[in-house]
Amino acid sequence: MTQTQPMVFTPEQAKRYSRHIIMPQIGGSGQRKLLDAKVLLIGAGGLGSPTALYLAAAGVGTLGIVDFDDVELTNLQRQILHRTQDIGRPKVESASDTIAGINPDVRVVQHRLQLTSENAMEVLEPYDIIVDGSDNFATRYLVNDACVMLGKPCVHGSIFLFEGQAATFIPGKGCYRCLYPTPPPPGMVPSCAEAGVLGVLPGIVGCIQAIETIKIILGLGETLTGRLLLFDALSMETRQVKVRRNTACPVCGDSPTVTELIDYEEFCGLPHAEVPSANGRS
Ligand SMILES: [Zn+2]
């Protein structure tokens, strides 16, 4: 996100991004920041799909995508990065093709892997902003802790039935653990595969995550830092809950006790052998 490159656009880019460039709040310099930004999406599922599509259309120059799964028929009810003809293909490949069709300016980095304590720091390190669209608590805590340790902003989103949540965690201003110090007991919160989810809902939450990401890149407005946004699709009501940095937080508090990545499956009370694929089934 540095301004080292000259602010030069090809004629096609000047046209493609003209509706950004004419906005005084964005302009050519803002569009250059978007093109220079490197964003990592955790999951190419329900949340990651709309986030990826809009960030690609907006001209975010580098999009990393972490996902280990292949496209399944049950995904297509909400995971709009993927098409019927993509069933059986790795999601990172399908996502890459879709994004290339939207905006050839975007470089997609495919991370076809399960994020673990062993590889997370290395995978996250090259990126400016991490967007968490994962579907399970072990990955969520892993991504949170790695972001705190690397000093990277994390844009959180999650969905359940008809309800969505979003928050932005900026280093030094609280983290996911400040909000939820401990994971729920295993089996307490069923997954989308077990309980279902309204197909449009991840679209709304993922778009909020995309907006937050763009605001961080451009330094515009007020992000959801220090706030958790709750959205109920049935009542069309939104609520906000204050999130304060917990000075006793084991990761981002004044005297952290977790200073390197731990065993998150154990932390979440999951037996190792039965851990499903960690990413992308949101
Ligand atoms: Zn914290």
CATH number for the domain spanning 78: value is 3.40.50.720
pLDDT given at position 220:
98
- Give the model confidence (pLDDT) of 153-195 as tens digits: 999 999 999 999 999 999 999 999 999 999 988 878 877 778 8
CA distance 88 to 68: 12
Is 2 a domain residue?
no
Average pLDDT, whole number, for the chain?
93
pLDDT grade, residue 275 (50/70/90)?
very low
Give the tokens for residue 170: 């900026």
Is 10 a domain residue?
no
- For 118-126, what is the mean pLDDT? 98
Is 111 a domain residue?
yes
**Could you tell me the residue range of the domain that residue 223 belongs to?**
17-274
Measured in Å, residue 148 CA sits from the centre of ligand 1 at 8
Measured in Å, residue 13 CA sits from the centre of ligand 1 at 40
Is 12 a domain residue?
no
pLDDT given at position 277:
43
Question: Which residues does 75 contact at the CB level (< 8 Å), separation at least 6?
Answer: 45, 82, 91, 281
Measured in Å, residue 152 CA sits from the centre of ligand 1 at 13
CA distance 109 to 100: 12
- Give the model confidence (pLDDT) of 33-49 as tens digits: 999 999 999 999 999 99
Task: Please say whether the beta carbons of 81 and 55 come within 8 A.
Answer: no
On the question of pLDDT at 204 being above 60, the answer is: yes
pTM: 0.93
Is 70 a domain residue?
yes
Measured in Å, residue 83 CA sits from the centre of ligand 1 at 38
Is 1 a domain residue?
no
Number of domains in the chain: 1
Is 77 a domain residue?
yes
Question: Which residues does 245 contact at the CB level (< 8 Å), separation at least 6?
Answer: 172, 173, 174, 175, 178, 252, 253
pLDDT grade, residue 273 (50/70/90)?
very low
Measured in Å, residue 186 CA sits from the centre of ligand 1 at 22
